[in-house]
């Protein structure tokens, strides 16, 4: 799950347009939910796939809520 900002590898600016995200990632994701306008400040990304949460990127959002 991804919320708010999406910064693709090799890019410095986040994608914020849901139509553009759907077009670019159509074969990699099943659904984009348009939550409205968002900040350009990167969000915190936490990988919850394994047994323990892993901090992937510290940004806007408190990783301490996940014990990180």
Give the pLDDT of residue 62: 85
Q: CA of 67: how far to CAs of 28, 46, 59, 64, in Å?
A: 29, 11, 15, 5
Q: What pTM, to 2 d.p., does this model score?
A: 0.51
Tokens representing residue 25 in the block:
């990632």
Give the pLDDT of residue 5: 67
What pLDDT, in 10s, does the model give residues 10-61?
A: 988 888 788 888 888 888 888 887 777 667 777 788 898 999 989 998 888 8
What's the pLDDT band for 3 if we cut at 50, 70, 90?
A: low
Give the pLDDT of residue 55: 92
């Amino acid at each position: 799950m991804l919320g708010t900002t999406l910064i693709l590898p090799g890019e410095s600016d986040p994608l914020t347009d849901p139509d553009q995200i759907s077009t670019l990632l159509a074969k990699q994701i099943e659904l984009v939910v348009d939550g409205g306008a968002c900040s350009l400040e990167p969000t915190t990304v936490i990988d919850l796939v394994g047994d323990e949460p892993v901090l992937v990127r510290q940004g806007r959002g408190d990783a301490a809520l996940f014990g990180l």
